[in-house]
Amino acid sequence: MNTQQPVRVRFAPSPTGRTHLGSGRTALYNYLLARQTGGKFILRIEDTDQKRYVPGAEEELMDSLHWLGLEWDEGPDVGGSFGPYRQTERRDSYQKYAQQLIDSGSAYYCFCSQSEDVQEVKRSRKHRDECPYREMPAEDTRARIVAGDPYVIRFKMPAVGTVTAVDALRGPITVDNSTLDDTILVKSDGLPVYHLAVVVDDHLMEITHVFRTSEWLPTFPLHVHLYQALGWEQPIWIHPSIFLKPDGKGKMSKRDTAALQESGQSIFLGDMHELGYLPEAVVNWMVLMGWSYDDHTEFFAMPDLIEKFSIEKLNPSPAAINFSKLDHFNGLHIRNLNTDDLAQRLLPFFERAGINADLDTLRKIAPVLQVRLVTLDESVEKAAFFFQAEVHPAPEDLIAKKMSAAESALAAQRAYDLLANLPEITHETAEEPMRQLAEDMGIKVGQLFGIVRVAVTGQIVSPPLFESMEIIGREKSLIRIKNAIDILHGIA
C-alpha cells in the first residue's frame, strides 16, 4: 500500500510516563510514510488523562523524537493549520460532537454513580442492560442536568447486528455488537475519554492513516461505530505488532523494565543515548521489529527507509525485543560514520567521565576505536589512557605469561632500548623490529607486545599497540615503558 498521495499521519502519545521503544517505532512508521509521500507528520499530545499526567514526560518525548531524527511538521511547539495540538486545549470540539451524538440518538447522558458501575462489573453485566437512563425522556434528562446532578456521556451501542472494522494488515474484522457495551465518551469533569477525542481529532486534522499497535484492536470496533455515527469517512487503519519481552514470553511489565535497567539495558529512548547507542542504529533496529524489506537486507539509513518502507511488508506477528541485534546494528552504524562525526559523538562520553579530551586527539583515536566499539560509552574504558598524564598498570599485569618478573623487566628494557633508538614510533617503523626482538630473545611476540601494551596503556586489552603509541607520542610512551621497568624491578 505504497500510496503516492500525500498522507497526513499523526503520532499522538499521552504524557503519562517515559517514551519507550513501542512509541518510538509507531512514530517512526508514521514519519516514514509521511516523508515517502511528501505528506505531513503531526505530533499531537493526548493529555486528557490528567490523573496520570507526568511532569516532564512531554519534554522527554520531544527530546527523544528529535534524537531519533523524527522532525514533525505540525505540533504543539511548531504550530500548524489544524491546531491546537494538545487535547486539553480542544475541549469545545469534543463537546460539540458529543452533543451531535446525543442529538442523533447515538449517545446519552448517564447519571449512574461510580459504585453502580462497579456493581455491574461484579455481576458481569453490560451497562446497557442495566442503565435506567439509556432511554430516559429528554425533558427528564434536562431537569437532572439543571439540578446539577453529575453525569457522564455514553455511546449507545447497538444491541444487535455486527460491525466490521478493516485493518490494513489483517483485513476485515467482524464483531457482534452484542459483545460490546456502552462506553463512556465524556467524563463527569467534562473532559472526553480517549475514544471520543482521538476520533474527533483525527477527523478534524484530516488524518488519512492511523498507526497504532495491535493492543488497540479490542477498541477498534468502537472507533468504527463512532465514525459511522458521526457520518465521517474512516482513515486507513494499521495495527502493527506489539513488542514482547526478550525471551518472547509476554509483554514487557514494569518489573521486566526495571530488571533490564539493572542489567544495563533499557527500553526507554531517553536512556539509549546515555548507553552509547546511535539514533541511526536504534531506528534501524526498531523498524525491523515488525517490518522487512526482503529476506536479506538489514542495514538501513533513514533515506533508505523513506524510499523502501511500505505498509504491505509490515508483519502483524509479535516481535521479541532483541538487544543483541541492537548491539549488532550499533556496531555497523558506528563503522559507517566518518572520522570527524565519530569524534564529535565520542566527546560527550569522555566529558561525562571527567576526562579532558580534545577533538583533535579524538579524531586520531576514532579510526583505531571504530572497528572495536559496540557502543560509544565503551570508548572511555578503551581509550582514557590517551588523555592521561600517566598510567598506573597493575604490577601483575606487566608480567607476561610463562615469564617471571625479572624476565619481563628484561624484555621491557630491551623494547625500551629499541624504541628509543627509532626516529619515530609508528606501526610501520616499530612493529617489524619488535617482532624481530621477540625472536632474538626467544619469547613469543604476544608476550613482548603484551608487556609493552600494559606499560603504555595500563590495560591488558587496548586498541592496536603501535597506532596507540603514535597517538600518545614517542616521549610519553617511552616514559611509561621506563616506569613499567621500575615497577617490574621492584617486584622481581
**What is the spatial distance between Cα 36 and Cα 52, in angstroms, rounded to a whole number?**
35
**What is the spatial distance between Cα 156 and Cα 81, in angstroms, rounded to a whole number?**
33
Report which DSSP code applies to 442.
T
What are the Cα distances from residue 76, in Å, to 42, 43, 351? 9, 7, 33
Has 122 been annotated as catalytic?
A: no
Strands 319-320 and 107-110, sheet pairing:
unpaired
Nearest to 229, CA basis, from 199, 205, 209, 201: 199
**What is the spatial distance between Cα 142 and Cα 420, in angstroms, rounded to a whole number?**
98
CA dihedral 184, 187, 193, 197 (to 10 degrees): 110
C-alpha cell at 316: 502483524
Task: Determine which helix (DSSP H) or strand (DSSP E) holds 474, and give its type and residue range.
Answer: helix 474-491
Task: Determine which helix (DSSP H) or strand (DSSP E) holds 330, and give its type and residue range.
Answer: helix 323-335
SS3 110: strand
What are the Cα distances from residue 417, in Å, to 334, 413, 420, 434, 475? 38, 6, 5, 11, 13
Amino acid at 138: A
Residues 211 and 30: beta-carbon distance below 8 Å: yes
Active-site pick, 51, 249, 254, 401 = 254
Q: Active-site residue numbers?
A: 254
